[in-house]
Amino acid sequence: MRVLEARLDELELPLVEPFETSFGVERRRRLLLLQLVGASGERGVGECVAARDPLYSAESVATARWLLSRYLIPDLLAHETPDPGAFLDRVRGLKGHPMAKATAEMALWDLYARERGEPLATALGGKRRRVEVGVSVGIQPSIEALVRRVGEYLDEGYRRVKLKVRPGWDAAPVGAVREEFPDLRIWVDANQAYPPSAGPAIVRWAVRLGVEQVEQPFAEREFGAHARLCRARRFRVCLDESIVDRASLEEAIRQRALSSLNVKPGRVGGLTSSRELQRITAAARIPAWVGGMLETGVGRAHAVALATLPNFVLPADLSASRRYYRTEIIDSPFELGPGSTLAVPRGPGIGVEIDEAALGRVRRRSQRFRPKHP
């Protein structure tokens, strides 16, 4: 692949409703979108999932924009790239910044699949035509509001609900949801909010309330605390922020610190790494699933394609487009279908196209790049 032009857009989209986790509250999503134009005339697009502030991870929109502009995009314009893996090999010396690297790598995957005339899911090795999904529900203003919101999602057709929790917002709200919906599949996600000493209390209320999965209750390097929680064997213990690459996953498996894995391609450096982590969990007989990070339809299309791989067997956090945004920047928004599923786009690449008019309404700045020496 030869990249002849790149465009980096910074967007800002208002969320349908505030999304609150233990990290804080998001009302408007600032994000980056990278488009690459190949010598074939095809266009590949990737989305950066870094947040405005470095809270979920060390990266932010500002750091990702700097790395993309200073290093990653110039590299793409300067080299012939046979496949996305070759790009990753070239930039391996740049330490860290997996979200910035994933933005470029995923845009390359889209371009690569388009030039081959095949869906991204097929290029990755996926087989499914539909992907089962669930919905993530942020911390609400009241327990009553939470129960009402969960009921609305169930009416829309979702079958699995993940509730954000933190100290002081756990047993009571989860219990209220369980009382109202006794047969509901409930997961909870703490985003590292608890100290290791809270493990026994988490076991008590999670078991009593029939919680199916507890995600990332402790800090990312607290493998020992997660391992102790795993020994309860009454629910799955899922890791998210703890796993950023192959080495961290292999260490977590060695310590028996997880019984499921949330793979977010932006968090782990892109689709190539995500595919590798999926293979490792399959070999270890650990179920995996694809998580979301408030993506637009571009990031969601990449994640849906990834979720077609064999060991992504648990419902993904990839809700319909209208879950987060009223303004969608793709031409074919994702709709929830039968069995709480999303259809996998069958067109070339990610299978959807940018709606340039909609993109223009939410664009805040834009920068174009061309090779210095054509």
DSSP for 311-361, please give it: TB-SPBS---GGGTBSS--BSS----BTTTEEEPP-SSBTS--B-HHHHHH
* Residue 211 confidence (pLDDT): 98
Contacts of 367 (CB under 8 A, 6+ apart): 7, 8, 69
Same domain, 160 and 304: yes
CATH number at residue 155: 3.20.20.120
Smallest CA-to-CA distance from 128 within 320, 265, 266, 315 is with: 315
Task: Starting at the earlier edge strand, list the strands of the sheet with 213-215.
Answer: 135-137, 160-164, 185-189, 213-215, 236-239, 260-263, 288-290
CATH number at residue 95: 3.30.390.10
Question: Which tokens hold the place of 123?
Answer: 């290029």
Give a yes or no: residue 348 inside a domain.
no
What is the count of structural domains for the chain?
2
In this structure, the dihedral spanned by the alpha carbons of residues 266, 271, 275 and 277, taken in order and rounded to 10 degrees, is -20
The mean pLDDT values, 10 residues at a time, for the chain of 374 residues are 96 86 81 96 96 89 97 96 94 94 98 97 96 96 97 96 97 98 97 96 96 97 97 93 96 98 96 98 98 94 98 96 88 94 97 95 96 73
CA quadruple 143, 145, 146, 147: dihedral sign: positive
| SS3 call for 44 | strand
Cα angle vertex 82, ends 89, 349, to 5°? 105
- According to DSSP, the residues that pair with 2 across neighbouring strands are 80
Cα–Cα distances (Å) from 346 to 63, 95, 176, 230, in that order, read: 34, 35, 41, 39
Give a yes or no: residue 374 inside a domain.
no
Same domain, 101 and 170: no
Same domain, 8 and 70: yes
**pLDDT tens digit sequence for 243-290:** 999 999 999 999 999 999 999 999 999 999 999 999 999 999 999 999
Same domain, 212 and 161: yes
Question: In which domain, by residue range, is 328 found?
Answer: 123-343
What helix, strand, coil percent values describe the chain, rounded to 5? Answer: 35, 25, 40
Q: How far apart are CA 355 and CA 349, in angstroms?
A: 16
* Residue 374 confidence (pLDDT): 53
CB distance 317 to 289 below 8 Å: yes
Task: Starting at the earlier edge strand, list the strands of the sheet with 43-48.
Answer: 43-48, 24-38, 3-21, 363-369
* Residue 132 confidence (pLDDT): 97
For 312, list phi and psi in degrees, rounded to 5. -85, 85
Cα–Cα distances (Å) from 220 to 57, 177, 237, 257, 287, in that order, read: 10, 28, 13, 11, 19
* Residue 1 confidence (pLDDT): 92
Q: How far apart are CA 56 and CA 98, in angstroms?
A: 13
* Residue 42 confidence (pLDDT): 97
Same domain, 246 and 365: no
* Residue 16 confidence (pLDDT): 85
Enzyme catalytic residues = 164, 264
Same domain, 176 and 197: yes
Same domain, 357 and 339: no
* pTM for the full predicted model: 0.94
